[in-house]
Structure 1
Amino acid sequence: MKNHILVFSFFLIFLKTGCGLETKTLPQFYEKDLADVSKIVIVDGNTGYKKTITDNIIIEDFLGDIKDIKFILDENQKARDGFIYSITLFQDDEETFQFGLTQVNDYYYHTEPDIYPIVDEFYTDLNNKEE
């Protein structure tokens, strides 16, 4: 009986860790080089407005601020409605990656540190006109 419990415990641990969904950072999600990002579009989910950034220095600063944030898989993967901000990265005019503050590639995450204040301050401080 003890052996069955031990085997079952290892099986549960294997399932929890072996599905390939682990804590990641933006560079680990992004399949290209972040240095090649030439445009970022941020959509405010509350208003529907968006701001487009094409200035390389601003892009580098923003990506530098968020690149080390850890996206930690949420246990609750039930579908959710809405988003706070959506961020889309481009190389030239080709969309290369899109993610939300709590969703990447159809999975839900929380972030450490919290990405929301960083993106919110960045979006608010941008002098770009909302589209």
Structure 2
Amino acid sequence: MGLKKADFSRLGRVADAMHDELLPFMADVIRTDTDPYVPARTMSLATSAFVNEADLQEGRIVYGNTVNSETGEPVNNYAQAQHDGLPGKRRDMHPQATCRWDEASTAANGTAWQAIAQRQADAIARRTK
């Protein structure tokens, strides 16, 4: 079969399905697996994780107490201070809580995330006609 006769339209549909399904799916998996590492004295920080479309495109999960409804960005620096090293992490609610919780979670879960993403991507590709 020559390239002139090949139908590449499925590739576009698979790429769209990956974007629409895989990224949000993995964001939920990563957010759930990362939760035990997030400082949680009052749970306001731990429950503040969100992903909007722009963050999803950048591969980010954002933590912050308050969000600007127009930009979707955190409006205070509490989460950043906790992430970057504000001392005194209490571990009553989350025994694994730490600064740089993203790095700790990636170290603990990164290999599993890759396997989950591969399985999910394979499933999406199989059902995309």
Same fold (TM over 0.5): no
Q: If each structure's strand is expressed as a fraction of its own residues, which one has the higher value?
A: 1
Q: TM-score, normalised by structure 2?
A: 0.31
Q: If each structure's helix is expressed as a fraction of its own residues, which one has the higher value?
A: 2
Q: TM-score, normalised by structure 1?
A: 0.31
